[in-house]
Structure 1
């Protein structure tokens, strides 16, 4: 379903609009009293009043204000009209012409929220522009564009409180919120369950020999062990990992993913850590990635290299890696930080020839 009808006045609104925003529009656009909205919703009038005041305060956010203005124009249309008609109403269709229903919003928002989980990544929105941009800063402080987002998608994400504006201005900067991380985990879990065979509609079981295993989602997880460690802070309140250390882990992970595309799958990482990898033994882009990875792991050596492979590339948790390597508890994060620090210095010594590989 694309839209739902309000129980109070029959206004038509997209089904992804939060209930408090619907009541706000009913009150401000249609003039419905708070008591009438409370009766229709089965709650107290004071609850509706708090919701209306909260939304009114949130209109200081440029994306939230734009979303409510567009929804106010869309919601007042007659039922027999298509929702994309009328000048200036861009809330229901993006540039691709695809209707912004709940499924479309979740599909587009998932890509944005995944990127916003990375440290230093924000969603930038310029005033009076119909596009938003996901940008991230590298170890040198330079910004790089990661993804272009249609304004309707960004407006819907702000209205649902998945992103919040930390620096309003001519160019507003948005970061992911706790609600956005929760929504991303739900989206990821639904995708994993569907891939494993748990669909909403009943399906016929196929013979065992025809079952295809779900695709490897390793490169698309919502949060990696290194990212979780980067959010921690030490006793002095400083981030446990620097931006350069985190970027080094992502660069090693990218080379590992590309090298695994070669015939034979995952490269021989033990030979890489021992420094016995035969450079040039694999052709093409996977071979180039494997050679870069071999140079980095040879710099780390056994121990540090093993920890980097397990946590950065294979995405094993710290406790799992500690048990596999036979180390004491809570020692893995220190070893991993040492490995990432040496890895960051190795990439920095390459005089820029390996910069810009991430994304």
Structure 2
């Protein structure tokens, strides 16, 4: 029973459910796991104490019900497809944890609501919703202790933990390795530090370089925290919202039948307007692709480069400057110009084209 769970379910939670729902004794579990009975007992008590958290209680209740259903069915199909393949689960976890790593971001969970939302306090009295999260995914994050809530209530607010940031780094590393393996089969690269974390070492031109910012940080949020010469934020809330709108459409466009989109054709090599007919799946994803294509075409070469790299790929400013051969400290100025034109483009669109969030 312990091995019939999705990979994201922690071992102590598996043992807790096997004991409380499966009826396995503490000593039986200890023999099966190769540890002392007191270890299992401590884990069971610890999980039971965590059930005061509404997300953890809901996760354990759901997993326990699935365990009972499987046992009553005679041990049929395993539960490994609760969240689909592990890679798909990690991709969604990366999306959410990245948002939660932004300054002032919380995951809000309300009683009786089917989905949770990630919201960010801009510090100027405005709240921006940056992501919508399925409740099962929110439960998984809490069960793994990647998020925590100090005071659960009618509306519980969860923040990313140190364990969540570390998990984000590991998942980013695995995702990067999978991408490298797909591009160059059999290729493996030793890494001096976890990619995506501040201070991670990367090789560039035979030299080792350390990044100042982590991949989990949004370049727009970083710039919005900076001040211009007159003391105002370098990026206003309206400009950040325009970039967030482009990114939301970009992420939505990846959800169609054709998951891998050829956005690189919008880079400086040549901006082309429109997408080929019949490219992609459902109407929602197809419409999002059309909106992204219109926005990037409106920006034109150069501006579409920096918008695509920084807003959609979440590429850091230093990396964008290096890839495009720009001088140091120039990307932030070009990005602000791109966001200003992007805002003007969105202001001219109809209300039916506005972002879903």
> Which residue in the other structure is 2:318 paired with?
319
Report the Cα offset of residue 81 of structure 1: 2.3
2:6 aligned with 1:19, yes or no?
no
Specify whether residues 271 and 254 from structure 1 end up closer, same or farther in structure 2 by C-alpha distance, changes over 3 A only.
farther
Report the Cα offset of residue 160 of structure 1: 2.8
Contact 1:165–1:175 (8 Å) recurs in 2: yes
Report the Cα offset of residue 348 of structure 1: 8.3
> Which residue in the other structure is 1:117 paired with?
98
Secondary structure of the 1:59 match is helix
Uncovered stretches (5+) of structure 1, i.e. residues with no partner: 6-12, 86-90, 93-98, 200-222
Contact 1:136–1:146 (8 Å) recurs in 2: no
Secondary structure of the 1:248 match is helix
Give the RMSD, CA atoms, in angstroms. 5.6
Specify whether residues 31 and 241 from structure 1 end up closer, same or farther in structure 2 by C-alpha distance, changes over 3 A only.
farther
* d(CA) in 2 for partners of 1:264, 1:114: 19
* d(CA) in 1 for partners of 2:306, 2:142: 38
Specify whether residues 135 and 197 from structure 1 end up closer, same or farther in structure 2 by C-alpha distance, changes over 3 A only.
same
Contact 1:135–1:146 (8 Å) recurs in 2: yes
* d(CA) in 2 for partners of 1:78, 1:255: 39
- Structure 1 residues 76-98: Cα deviation after superposition (integer angstroms, max 9, x where no partner): 6785725699xxxxx96xxxxxx
Report the Cα offset of residue 43 of structure 1: 3.9
Superposition map of 1:140-179 within 5 A = 141=127, 143=129, 146=132, 149=134, 151-165=135-149, 168-174=152-158, 177-178=164-165
**TM-score of the superposition, structure 2-length normalised?**
0.54
> Which residue in the other structure is 2:115 paired with?
132
Report the Cα offset of residue 18 of structure 1: 1.5
Secondary structure of the 2:145 match is coil
Superposition map of 1:156-305 within 5 A = 156-165=140-149, 168-174=152-158, 177-178=164-165, 180-182=167-169, 184-185=171-172, 188-189=175-176, 191-192=178-179, 195-196=182-183, 227-228=218-219, 230=221, 244-251=238-245, 266=265, 292-293=295-296
Contact 2:16–2:44 (8 Å) recurs in 1: yes
Specify whether residues 101 and 116 from structure 1 end up closer, same or farther in structure 2 by C-alpha distance, changes over 3 A only.
same
- Structure 1 residues 31-68: Cα deviation after superposition (integer angstroms, max 9, x where no partner): 734x6655543445665455344323321211211222
* d(CA) in 1 for partners of 2:355, 2:76: 40
Contact 2:219–2:316 (8 Å) recurs in 1: no
Secondary structure of the 1:172 match is strand
**TM-score of the superposition, structure 1-length normalised?**
0.54
Task: Kindly name which structure, 1 or 2, has the bigger radius of gyration based on alpha carbons.
Answer: 1
Contact 2:97–2:165 (8 Å) recurs in 1: no
Report the Cα offset of residue 320 of structure 1: 3.8
